[in-house]
Structure 1
Amino acid sequence: MNRNQVLPQVELSADPSALHRVDFCAPQSYKGAGFLAISAMPRLAEEVSSIDAGDGFHWQVDTYFTDSPGSEPHQILQLRLKGRLHLLCQRCLQDSAFDLAEERQFVMVATEAEADAYPIEDDQQEPLVASQHFDLLELIEDEILLSLPLIPKHPEGACEAHASSFGENGAEDDELEKPENPFNVLKNMKKSS
């Protein structure tokens, strides 16, 4: 590829179905942005506790080629994600809104072997195997799923106590529900002998 050659730039469609097949093997760069509703990402939809109006993610993709000394130029993919979803707080078991903003950079490689050989020390960009039918929507969904908190919780002090989890009367309910001590039977047997 000639260093002075200007590559065409293709505008990606914001339609989720168009993101399933992007040709990253073609000598062209891509640019695009759009909004993805939670319903467009089925694996993510399984994780959320509820879906409010406006829940989803704005995405932006830009690709460009960099010169690599002694080899073909590499295509770099920059992905930006910003959005909101609702998860179940593990502290109070109530719905909680989570805002996510992520930026990732990937280098497109030709084969799985190249991806496996890519230096692990380079934490600025991950390798992705380019294909003529690259599923960009799946990559976006993967990155959102990887960004979710392991244990979703409200910020400290923001949880509301749920009446059904603690009971209405508090200590009074505890006294009513105390089980009888099983050793009382043995104590009574010893007294009678």
Structure 2
Amino acid sequence: MDRNHVLPQVQLSAEPNALRRVDFCAPQSYRGAGFLSISDLPRVAEEVSTVQTGDGFNWDIQTHFEHFPGSEPHQIMELAIKGRLHLTCQRCLQGCAVDLDEKRRFIFLATESQADDYPLEDEEQEPLVASQQFNLLETIEDEILLSIPLIPKHPEGFCEPHAPVFGEGDGDEALAERENPFNVLKNMKKN
């Protein structure tokens, strides 16, 4: 490809179904943005505790070609995802809003073997295999799932303590009201 050759730029549709089949083998660059609700992302929907108004993700992608020494130019995709979902706080077991703001960079390669051989040390960009029917929606959903915290929690001091499993009322008061079993034994021994 000639460095002076200007490639056409294609505007991607914001419709989720249109993102399921994008031709990243074509000699053109892409640009697109949109909003995906939780219902558009079935694997993310399995992770959420509740869906509230406004939950979902704005996405923005841009691709361009870069020349690399000793090889053909490769298409690079810049992906930005920003949004909110509600998960279960692992501290208090109540719903907790989690905001995500991620930026990722990918390099499209021609074959699976090229992607497998891509250096793991390159933390700047991840390899993807280009295809004529690339599922961009699935890639966006993968990146959201990878960004979800393993142990979602409210900020420190925000969680409300919950009632103990075996008693009613506040934990400290319930413990104080119960008689110490060793005191019972001690009293039995005195008698």
Fold equivalence (TM over 0.5):
yes
1:86 alignment partner, SS class: strand
CA gap of 1:175–1:106, structure 2 versus 1, over 3 A, is same
CA gap of 1:156–1:118, structure 2 versus 1, over 3 A, is same
Q: Which residue of 1 aligns with 2:25?
A: 25
- The percent of aligned pairs where both chains have the same amino acid is 63
Stretches of structure 2 lacking an aligned partner (at least 5 in a row)? none
Q: How many residue pairs align between the two structures? A: 184
Cα deviation, residue 97, structure 1? 0.4
Q: Which residue of 2 aligns with 1:65?
A: 65
Q: Which residue of 1 aligns with 2:142?
A: 142
Cα deviation, residue 167, structure 1? 3.2
8 Å CA contact 2:163, 2:169 repeated in 1: yes
CA gap of 1:116–1:179, structure 2 versus 1, over 3 A, is farther
Q: Check if 1:37 corresponds to 2:37.
A: yes
CA gap of 1:176–1:77, structure 2 versus 1, over 3 A, is same
Q: Distance in 2 between matches of 1:50 and 1:44?
A: 11
Q: Which residue of 2 aligns with 1:91?
A: 91
**TM value normalised by structure 1:** 0.88
Q: Which residue of 2 aligns with 1:81?
A: 81
Q: Distance in 1 between matches of 2:142 and 2:34?
A: 17
Q: Which residue of 2 aligns with 1:191?
A: none
**Which AA in structure 1 matches 2:153?**
K
Q: Distance in 2 between matches of 1:144 and 1:98?
A: 11
Q: Check if 1:160 corresponds to 2:152.
A: no
**Which AA in structure 2 matches 1:39?**
S
**Which AA in structure 2 matches 1:62?**
Q
Deviations 1:77-106 (A, max 9, x none): 000000000000000000000110000000
Q: Distance in 1 between matches of 2:146 and 2:94?
A: 22
Q: Which residue of 2 aligns with 1:46?
A: 46
Of 93-102 and 67-76, more deviation after overlay is shown by 67-76
Q: Distance in 2 between matches of 1:69 and 1:105?
A: 19
Cα deviation, residue 10, structure 1? 0.3
8 Å CA contact 2:163, 2:171 repeated in 1: no
**Which AA in structure 2 matches 1:114?**
Q
**Which AA in structure 1 matches 2:158?**
A
After superposition, the CA RMSD in angstroms is: 2.1
Cα deviation, residue 159, structure 1? 0.6
8 Å CA contact 2:48, 2:85 repeated in 1: yes
1:145 alignment partner, SS class: helix
Q: Distance in 2 between matches of 1:86 and 1:120?
A: 32
Deviations 1:116-148 (A, max 9, x none): 111111100000000000000000000000001
**TM value normalised by structure 2:** 0.89
For residues 104-119 of structure 1, the aligned pairs below 5 Å read 104-119=104-119
Cα deviation, residue 172, structure 1? 5.0
